[in-house]
Amino acid sequence: MVTRRMFIVSGIVASGGLAIGYALMPYTTLGRARKIAGKPDASMLTTWVRIGTDNSVTVIVPHSEMGQGVHTSLPMMLAEELDADWSLVRMEQAPADMAFANVGLARGFLRGDKSIPGVLSGPADFTFRKIAELMNLQLTGGSTSVRFTGVDGMRRTGAAARAMLIKAAAQKWSVPELEIVARQSKLTHASGKSATYGEMATAAAELDVPSNVQLKRKSDYTIVGRPIKRFDIPSKVDGSARFGVDLRLPNMSFAVVAASPVFGGKLKSVDEAPAKSMRGVRQIVKLPDAVAVVADNTWRANQALMALRPEWDEGPNAATSSASIFAAMDAALDAGKFKSDFSIGNVDAALKDARKVIGHAYRVPYLAHATMETMNCTAHFDNGKLTIWGGFQDGLGARAKAAKFAGIPIDDVTLNHTAMGGGFGRRGSTLNYLQHAIGVARQVQGPVQLVFTREEDMTQDYYRHGSVSRMNAALDDKGKVTAWLHQFTEKFDPPEATMVNYDFANQASRYVKGLNPIPWGPWRSVDHTQMGFFIESFVDELAHEARQDPFEFRRAHLSAAPRHKAVLELAASMAGWDKRPAAGQARGIALREAFGTIVAQVAEVALTKDGRVRVLNIWSAVDPGEVVNPATFTAQIQGGAVYGLTAALYGEITIAKGRVMQRNFTEYDMVRMGDVPRHEVRFIESGAPTGGAGEPGTAPIAAAVGNAIFALTGQRIRELPFKNFDLKTGTRIAAL
């Protein structure tokens, strides 16, 4: 059936004058795509697949590669449905052009988990494409690449291209289409006729692209489900990959920028003389909220920048501090003017009538993204047109933003992708570095590469928000939860992050907003990172109050969630939960569903001689519905856990006098390679709708470690990061 959301949006698009004849649906921009990405010796059958005369298959991927492996996983999904020979498959990143707007992403979001009747597939595809074009949709984030673009785009595209090749062969050979076999990039017929895909591609490209295609059964897969080597790894290993900071162009200048250290501040004045006299300096550029030095290399630009002493109008946030921010959060929770998140049953009555009510408060700090490659962008104005180079999570969206920043039409902006040294949400919609690069380039002759120093990157980020959570629950005499109330500050994405899957008859979640005075940006797993710690720490506390084993307590509350129960049981089995850990060690467990994937993690910890926690082992059981590339998925669960472990152990951005106090890795520590725990990952392929890979591994880890600390020391730490506490006594050892 068609979802209400899809029906409403379809109506909006149609009423806006975008509904046109079926003959133009759904690939109205294919001609434009062919002009941009076509090759003389190849034929583009659809926007995302090009077949060469040498029988090569090039998959054009509308997502960015940040190390998550989508430049391999998505071609796998298309090649599977195309029945291509994998050794002949290549990959290109889609240009940042409207012709490559991500219709699969729009389709996946709007359709949800509902199927579309065949009679409506054409109009629906048209609607999705137009929405993607209107939204400049090429975003990489939210663990959507495989579960939306792959499922709703790449598979359908591969199947459509296969059908076109078969139809072209049937017409040429004058045989029924059903008699033609397509396999391993070759078409054959029982009569002995045969052709490669490359030989039939030109004729196939003349056909209409079908909108309603039959997909393969999983039992027939030959590519998906195998641990395929990633396309992006060789160049990153041998050094041939070119990141944004590697770019070199003729007559290029290099710029380093210093923005107002107080969020919302403006540049008042700056004496340019100390920098102008320094070697290599070409220009000082003033922007409304920043000053930049342009030189013949980045080092000289930075040395000159440090010689400047700009004066700032610090604005209204000059007195903001971490203490004032969290005090405002506590006051807002005390005031009780909540927005309703969700409600099941009557939680207030259940709490009022309960014999035993447990309540605790939790807190997490602001966090930076801290990508290894700092923010950077190269920009060049030439005859009123703008060209930019950099790593972006949303190429088409960044191009639209660049046009807005520059005040020119989007068609006068060209965006060139480079390799990306980490994203985690920072290189998506939070583009202050792009805005600064364009502002500087306007005043400079030739291309200019603007680079954030590590200090600028750390202090001019868009941060994961700090949050305070207050949890209350009621237990009956048998240790069953009869009421669950969650009240917290701030709510962003995704909307379901606060949901719990346990059998709690009465539930409610409420929140207050508008308490975040510093720039917010999506951070790996978004609200799941806070909610995973809040919810699964409190569930552990309820188990202790009920005098039950934390694993058994959770399992007893999952009778209506068999997938979650199976994942929980697998994680416990992997960790040997029924066996006592070695002396001086303990285990903690946590369970979260994030982005359609269920993850249960067990963390095993010990204390170091100086009383710090060391995570020795992690076991992750994962149900994503299906696994496209098990090698990549395993790496993503492991990488997500390490990213979350850094946040749990060390991550903290603090504010004083409106400024970020942490300026480099000496103050914003991270889990180093020597401290990474052993981590075993196993999958359950339940056949449920495909879930995401990049972020679910981040969500439960902080709670799993915190629960293990409690099991080891008896101290319940309800605030992150753990480094701020004496784990033997539970007392805070670091100031707010």
Say which CATH topology domain 525-724 has: Aldehyde Oxidoreductase; domain 4 (3.30.365)
β-strands 585-594, 507-512 pairing: unpaired
Count other C-beta atoms under 10 Å from residue 526's C-beta: 25
For 564-583, write each residue's pLDDT tens digit: 999 999 999 999 999 999 99
Average pLDDT rounded to a whole number, residues 308-334:
97
Instruction: Please report the pLDDT score of residue 137 as a whole number.
Output: 82
Pick the CATH number of 244-315+375-451 from 3.90.75.20, 3.30.365.10, 3.10.20.600, 3.30.930.10: 3.30.365.10
CATH architecture of 4-235: 2-Layer Sandwich (3.30)
Q: Taking 90 as the threshold, does the pLDDT of residue 111 lie above it? A: no
Over residues 491-545, the pLDDT tens digits come to 999 999 999 999 999 999 999 999 999 999 999 999 999 999 999 999 999 999 9
- pLDDT at position 105 is 78
Q: Return the pLDDT at 610.
A: 86
CA pair distance 90, 685, nearest whole angstrom: 28
The predicted model gives 355-377 an average pLDDT of 97
Percent of the chain at pLDDT > 70 equals: 93
Domain ranges of the chain: 4-235, 244-315+375-451, 525-724
For residues 79 and 50, give the distance between their C-alpha atoms in angstroms, rounded to a whole number: 12
Quote the tokens at residue 43.
């034929």
CA dihedral sign, ordered 493, 498, 499, 501: positive
pLDDT of residue 320: 97
b/e burial code for range 52-71 (CB count within 10 A of at least 16 → b): beebbbbbbbbbbbbbbbbb
Which of the four pLDDT bands, split at 50, 70 and 90, describes residue 3?
very low
Residue 444 has pLDDT above 70, yes or no: yes
Residue 342's pLDDT band (cuts 50, 70, 90): very high
Confidence band (pLDDT; 50, 70, 90) for 29? confident
pTM (predicted TM-score): 0.93
pLDDT surpassing 60 at residue 121: no
- pLDDT surpassing 90 at residue 116: no
16: DSSP letter: I
d(CA 276, CA 569): 66
Q: Looking at the predicted structure, is the pLDDT value of residue 114 above 50?
A: no
Single out the residue of 691, 723, 688, 684 nearest to residue 706, CA to CA.
Answer: 723
Mean pLDDT of 96-111: 80
Residue appearing with tokens 């725990």: 677
**Average pLDDT of the residues in 45-69:** 97
The per-residue DSSP string of 299-362 comes to HHHHHHHHH---EEE-GGGTT--HHHHHHHHHHHHHHT-PEEEEEES-HHHHHHH-SEEEEEEE
Higher pLDDT pick, 126 / 670: 670
Q: What is the pLDDT of residue 126?
A: 62
Q: What confidence score (pLDDT) does residue 135 get?
A: 75
Decide whether 244-315+375-451 matches 525-724 in CATH topology.
yes
Mean confidence (pLDDT) of the chain:
93
Backbone angles phi, psi at 527, to 5 degrees: -65, -15
Tokens at 600, concatenated: 């249960």
pLDDT at 102: 86
Q: Does pLDDT of 600 surpass 70?
A: yes
pLDDT reading at 156 higher than 80: yes
